Amino acid sequence: MGIVRKLTVGLLTGASLFGPVGIAAADSPSPSASASDDASAAAPTEAGTSFRTATAIKLDQPATAGASTGDYLYWSVPVDTGQRATVKAKVTLPEPAARHGAATWQLDVYDGLRRHQACKYGTPVKAAAKDARTVELTCSLRTVRAWAEPWANDPLPGSYYIRLTVVDLPQDDLGLPVRAEVSVGATDAGGSQAVDGMLAAPLVPGATAAPRPQPSASSTAAQPVALDEPDGGWSSGWWSDRWIWTAAGGLLAALGGIAGYCLTRGSGRPSRVPPGY
């Protein structure tokens, strides 16, 4: 009974350690309808025309833009360590009567170093027939890593640039008005994708490892625009749910050691010596 009691106490202790994680996730408030309405109301309605003028958006924030066929449209979005981002784009095409043939649209994604990132899933290039009213493109990126070798092309935390444009169409269709809609969602890949190491700073234009100097009260110079970052700030890169599994494994190993010790040590009483010895 003593062994069973000790194992029960150990399991209850482990449950008390890992229980709050699930409770905290369950008790986290869900976004209200008013919050989503505010986000939609503040959604950008323009797009940049280059990397330097890319319009900043946030994850799960829809963005729209009116443009002319042939324009390059740019947006930027922060993607953090452990996230697997999916970019979705929808282009509303001109009236079929105004077009002269099919058109091919392309969605490209670049990281903070302006390296082109391949799509793991999705349809980043799609042809729209002459009578098509819309064309939809998707691109699911690889999981963002906290650190990578200098020679690798692994996605790293920082700003990601989205470029949308038409790559093949009749010459007479250049300049026709189109409307673009873009959104970026992300899921957490978990500790299975975690790696050791971290960047000194996210790959965001203007970001450095050194702290920013605090402006003085008497300074009249214009303050720089705040860097784009995810809600809650950038991840430090050291934490992942691998720590939970490591702690759980250590706890189970300790309980196994205690059980083995209790089974092999005996009752603790000295054995009886037969008479005559």
Q: In the structure, what pLDDT confidence band is assigned to residue 266 with cuts at 50, 70 and 90? A: low
Segments of 69-174 assigned E as strands: 73-79, 83-92, 103-110, 125-128, 134-140, 158-168
The continuous run of DSSP H or E covering 133 comes out as none
Residue 78: per-residue pLDDT: 93
Among the ranges given (44-48, 115-119, 164-168, 214-218), the one the predictor scored with the smallest mean pLDDT? 214-218
142 or 39: which leads in pLDDT = 142
Residue 242: per-residue pLDDT: 59
Residue 268: per-residue pLDDT: 56
> Distance between CA 116 and CA 161 in Å, rounded?
9
pLDDT at residue 220 tops 60: no
- Map out the domains of the chain as residue ranges: 42-193
Angle, vertex CA 249, rays to CA 243 and CA 252, nearest 5: 140
| CATH T-level assignment (fold) for domain 42-193 | Jelly Rolls (2.60.120)
Phi-psi region of 18 (alpha: psi -120 to 50; beta: other; left: phi over 0): alpha
Note the pLDDT tens digit of each residue in 184-207.
Answer: 999 987 655 556 656 666 777 755
29 or 252: which leads in pLDDT = 252
Q: Which two tokens stand for residue 85?
A: 């981002």
Most trustworthy range by pLDDT among 30-34, 122-126, 192-196, 248-252: 122-126
Q: In the structure, what pLDDT confidence band is assigned to residue 5 with cuts at 50, 70 and 90? A: low
Residue with tokens 């829809």, as numbered in its chain: 62
pLDDT at residue 240 tops 90: no
Among the ranges given (105-119, 187-201, 215-229), the one the predictor scored with the smallest mean pLDDT? 215-229
Look over the chain and give the mean of its residue pLDDT values, rounded to a whole number: 76
Q: In the structure, what pLDDT confidence band is assigned to residue 132 with cuts at 50, 70 and 90? A: very high
pLDDT at residue 273 tops 80: no
pLDDT at residue 36 tops 60: no
Residue by residue, DSSP assigns 204-228 as -TT--SSPPPPPPTT--SPPPPPPP
Residue by residue, DSSP assigns 50-78 as SSTTPEE--TT--EEEEEETT--EEEEEE
Residue 275: per-residue pLDDT: 64
Residue 145: per-residue pLDDT: 85
Q: In the structure, what pLDDT confidence band is assigned to residue 21 with cuts at 50, 70 and 90? A: very low
Q: What is the mean pLDDT of residues 87-101?
A: 94
211 or 197: which leads in pLDDT = 197
| Stated pTM of the model | 0.66
Q: In the structure, what pLDDT confidence band is assigned to residue 248 with cuts at 50, 70 and 90? A: confident
Q: What is the mean pLDDT of residues 55-82?
A: 94
